[in-house]
Amino acid sequence: MELRSQAVKQGLSRAPHRSLLKADGFIDREIEQPWVGIVCAANEVVPGHIHLQQVAEAVKAGVRMGGGTPMQFGVIGICDGIAMGHAGMRYSLPSREVIADSIELMVQAHAFDALVMIPNCDKIVPGMLMAAARLNLPTVVVSGGPMLAGRHAGKDVDFITVMEAQGAVEAELMDPAELAELEEAACPGCGSCAGLFTANSMNCLTEAIGLGLPGNGTIPAPHARRIRLAKEAGLAVMDILRKGRRPLDIITRSSLRNALAVDMAIGGSSNTVLHLLALAYEAGVDIDLREIQEVCDATPNLARISPAGGGRHHMQDLDEAGGIPAVMGELLKKGLVDPEVPCVAADRLGDLLKGKGTLNPEVIRPVEDPYMPTGGLAILYGNLAPEGAVVKQSAVPDNLLRHRGPARVFDAEEAAVEAMRSGRIREGDVVVIRYEGPRGGPGMREMLNPTATLAGMGMADKVVLVTDGRFSGGTRGAAVGHVSPEAAQGGPIALVEDGDLIELDVPGRVVRLEVPEEELQERRKAWRPPEPRVRTGYLAEYARRVSSASRGAVRLRD
């Protein structure tokens, strides 16, 4: 087994390098063994990350048992919940590129032989996956796992319950004292927020792609099984290092379609579309929104995890029902996943899925009895979104799956939320929030505040939202995001005026502005691009180089 690290540690000319390693406390045997970079996003800010050092210690134990030398280094991580609703959210999606870049710098500078990546929350998971594809070294991903749901008044609750409750208080539908009680109970400890929000969606899809071991997406953070899984991840990376199995052997069109099928089956966050497109871009796999729609149309929706289904089920319920192996086992019965792809846990995915199926049909429905015959997400097109838009159709109320209403147009999230709170949004309105895309935001903010405000006010089934920004994985309601091209690029969403009629037809995959083309052409002649909101620093550079959301909001290479 030829090791990359030999370039750093072998021979007479590397005596100075070995002396520095010995200053770290490494002995000759540790220096001679394969070097495994332990890429850990532990910090004291993000609830999903506060326990990751314990996970890292378990991974390192597994690496040592497997005959390797672990070397840990850190990665940044932004908490979307804490960044939500203010300027901080502009930095969340762009941090994905920083994470991938920083891992590349550390790994290439120090010649690691293999990697174990330990993420947990929103942009950290896809950022690490992108780095794995870019570096193409034997890699295993093991997340910190989901938070347990909280309990309040005899019901399971989570972060989204609190977000929606603040809207209820503003609408005088809830007493502030009850909100204070929820605030204490909703997030009971470490882990990524308890519903099928973006973080947990991506950790599940990491498992479905084959870069995480079974259980990666669903074993709760506080459970001892999570620590045992971390040790197994350390052992697994040594196994695939010996076999020479690399991420680009695993991240293929077939495995990405497997992940998409799982995404549709469980009703994951709409943000997964951005991240899977970005991962495909890094891996050199040509997948676009139309192929995503193809998988959606072929895949039944089998699970309704919070925020879908009214928050009745959470990640611990999905885990107890068999987790992602059970979901994939159900899909395999209909030939909806490819069992021949390799993964970090086996030479062939099908070997992991033998005998797997739902253990609780109330949580994971049998493939013969789905919630819907098509997947949890849908890609919409029309003259308002020529390059596409995304909606989490499993969280759209039945009465809004087809809707036609007047546009209420806002050029920033804050203006829309203020209108909601002041009672200026009416039943039947289509709220358009623009200039919040990857370039115009900049940073494509998540808009959980508007959707949670409407839900708390009892209007989630009365109003449609349309934006060139994006929505949280915790969003429920008729929330159409990722409208492309975005307003800052002169997309049609920039031309919408108050009172214009907008048609939403989720089953028909259409979002359409009912304005004659001649009128739109006149408006286009009068349109001028806005001044950049941010002129300096990382966000300004990001805005200059970022692609459309329809391509994953990636940093373009050319």
Residues annotated catalytic, as ranges: 472
- For residues 487 and 494, give the distance between their C-alpha atoms in angstroms, rounded to a whole number: 4
Q: Is 409 exposed, middle or buried (0-12, 13-18, 19+ CB in 10 A)?
A: buried
Identify which of 549, 234, 211 has the alpha carbon closest to the alpha carbon of residue 380.
549
Between CA 504 and CA 522 the distance in angstroms is: 24
Q: Which residue has the tokens 């959301």?
A: 549
Please state the φ and ψ torsions of residue 96, each to the nearest 5 degrees: -55, -45
Instruction: Yes or no: say if 170 and 195 are a contact pair by the CB < 8 Å rule.
Output: no
> Taking a C-beta distance cutoff of 8 angstroms, is the pair 389, 481 a contact?
yes
Give me the residue label for tokens 């033998």: 354
Contacts of 530 (CB under 8 A, 6+ apart): 411, 435, 440, 488
Beta bridge partners of 402: 505
- Asked whether 275 and 552 are in contact (CB, 8 A), the reply is yes
Alpha carbon distance 176, 349 (integer Å): 50
Q: N- to C-terminal Cα distance for the chain? A: 36
Contact (Cβ atoms closer than 8 angstroms) between residue 514 and residue 502: yes
Q: CA-CA distance, 397 to 460, in Å (whole number)?
A: 8
Sign of CA dihedral 488, 492, 495, 499: negative
User: Six-digit token pair at 430?
Assistant: 């289509």
Among candidates 5, 104, 120, 103, which has minimal Cα distance to 56?
A: 120
> 405 has which bridge partners?
502
User: Residue written as tokens 């995959």?
Assistant: 509
Query: What letter does residue 162 receive in the DSSP assignment?
Result: H
Q: CB neighbours of 526 closer than 8 A, spacing ≥ 6?
A: none
The DSSP code sequence of 421-465 is: HTT---TT-EEEE-S-STTTTTS--B-HHHHHHHHHTT-TTT-EE
Q: Both tokens of residue 467?
A: 């934006």
Q: Residue 538: helix, strand or coil by DSSP?
A: helix
Tell me the C-alpha to C-alpha distance, in Å, between residue 193 and each of 119, 292, 506, 516, 552.
14, 26, 28, 44, 24
d(Cα 400, Cα 79) in Å, to the nearest integer? Answer: 31
Q: Enter the tokens of residue 471.
A: 């929505």
- CA–CA separation, 128 and 148 (whole Å): 24
